Amino acid sequence: MVSLDQLQHLARQHGTPLFVVDHDELRRNYAQFKQGLPRVQVYYAVKANPDPAIVKTFYEAGAGFDVASMPEFRIVHQYIEHLPEPERQAWIWDKIIYANPIKANETLRELDPYKPLVTFDNAEEIGKIRNYAPHAGLVLRLWVPNTGSVVELSTKFGAAPGEAVDLILAADKAGLKVEGLSFHVGSQATNFENYVAALNLAANVFQEARDRGYTRMNLVDIGGGFPVPYDATVKPFAELAGIINSELDRLFPQDIQILAEPGRFLVATAAVAISQIIGKAVRNGKLCYYINDGVYHTFSGVLFDHCQYPLQAFKGGTPQICSVFGPTCDALDVVSLAEHLPANLELGDLLYSKNIGAYSHASSTWFNGFPPAKVVHINQ
């Protein structure tokens, strides 16, 4: 990991706010995932952090990609444009899944020449794909329990298991090929039983499809949700991997391909945010620090990802509970109302936040005219 001395050096060199991405950590996380789940093909969820340099590192490591928009598709595609057409087409089919179940007609029309895998979860989407992307392969996304996950997704996406085979047969009747099933147990899924329940639901749908005459499915996409150790309450990945491996071996023959879409797990621990104190005040008896980064920028995950990123000071001192606010002239820009920081920090002092690589800088805006943090890549 990056040392505190190196972080301070980078801040002096580049200024703040700064978003430091360690590519050695990206590679370590990828290797850990592969080692823990050897049967699973890794498809990095680009939305977690779409920085092209991050995508390039995972591409070079051998990853596939879960994309959910055409801009994300194009970020990945730029690394294979040099391949001959047949090889490029084979790579797209084998290494990209367009995992947004709801797609605009224009998106489908643009996707069709690439003949990719795309997800769906309702009858209306079948008609759209038939009309605008008939060369795509389909993956049916199932509704599965999201109990205990920090970000719940089952309200927005997923076909009910009871209607799943009807949708598969409807797609088949429309002249489309359903290649397999997918699900997502919710982001930062600390309840490992969600995976057990989801895998059993998927196995039941596989069996029902066979019983009703559809035998063309050969893959299961187990989605993302693999939790990051933001704190000591998160159980280790090795424990979850053991559970998943056991269920995969029990439920699915070896000829069934298994995909996963880790995003947070691969990038969260690989980035550190560095900010500078630009204001200090006492309000109603409580110490308040103002920094040059906030929820409209790197700390957007406080709002969009239901995540807290503890701030730490490079300078020592007796900590006390204080508030930390971002730089914009907006009351929503609250990084934390209960941060433990030294009371002796001064204007110009630096703070840092670890484990902030996922769903953070990716959502930065230019609100109030403040630019996003500068990104610096190390160990590329």
Catalytic residue positions? 329
Q: Please compute, for residue 334, the number of CA atoms within 13 A of its CA located in the half-sphere on the CB side.
A: 9
Residue 376, Cβ density class (10 Å: 0-12 exposed, 13-18 middle, ≥19 buried): middle
- 313, 349 Cβ separation under 8 angstroms: yes
- 225, 187 Cβ separation under 8 angstroms: yes
> Which DSSP state fits 370?
P
- 355, 309 Cβ separation under 8 angstroms: yes
CA 223 from centre of chain: 10
- Which residues, other chains included, contact 90 with Cβ-Cβ below 8 Å and sequence gap of 6+? none
Closest CA to 111 of 129, 84, 87, 86: 129
Q: Rounded to whole angstroms, how far apart are CA atoms 93 and 171?
A: 19
Residue 346, Cβ density class (10 Å: 0-12 exposed, 13-18 middle, ≥19 buried): exposed
**Pairing mode, if any, of strands 334-342 and 257-260?**
unpaired
CB atoms within 10 A of CB 106: 10
Closest CA to 300 of 275, 326, 319, 338: 326
Q: Tell how many helices (H) and how many strands (E) occur in the chain.
A: 12, 18
Amino acid symbol at 129: I
Residue 159, Cβ density class (10 Å: 0-12 exposed, 13-18 middle, ≥19 buried): buried
Token readout for 181 is 């099933």
- Which residues, other chains included, contact 69 with Cβ-Cβ below 8 Å and sequence gap of 6+? 47, 100, 107
Amino acid symbol at 99: A
Q: Rounded to whole angstroms, how far apart are CA atoms 140 and 214?
A: 13
